[in-house]
Amino acid sequence: MDNNLGKRIRRFRKLKGLTLEDLGEKAGVCCKYVGEIERGIKTPTVTVLQKVASALDVHACVLLSSFSTEEGYLERFASINRILHGRDAETLEKINKILKIVFDEKY
């Protein structure tokens, strides 16, 4: 099994300053199971993945994506996620347009 999902979960957990026990409690799943997911021993169900993502304050798609696990990358991504979290749809659309202009993409 590809363990990048587990690595991303571990990195986000550590960024939040959570122990396995903390994350398990917040997600409503056994901390041992979370540890097995992080080590690539178990693959979470969609329901568990959603619970873990919610406990980490990220969308499940972020945990599933192929983002780099290089040092600092997830920290920067988490910082951006915190800034965008809770913004209304209109504001997010404006931010999206700005980013497309900055990165020379069509919008």
- Determine the structural domain holding residue 32 and report its residue range: 4-102
pLDDT tens readout for residues 46-81: 999 999 999 998 888 888 876 655 667 777 777 887
CATH assignment at residue 94: 1.10.260.40
Segment among 6-10, 74-78, 93-97 with least mean pLDDT: 74-78
With respect to residue 39, please indicate whether it lies within any of the assigned structural domains. Answer: yes
Count: domains in the chain: 1
Does residue 51 sit within a domain? yes
Residue 37 belongs to a domain: yes
pTM: 0.67
107 within a domain of the structure (yes/no): no
Q: Which two tokens stand for residue 3?
A: 């363990």
Q: Buried (b) or exposed (e) across 36-45, using 16+ Cβ within 10 A?
A: ebbeeebebe
Residue 90 DSSP SS3 = helix
Q: Token digits for 40?
A: 């690539």
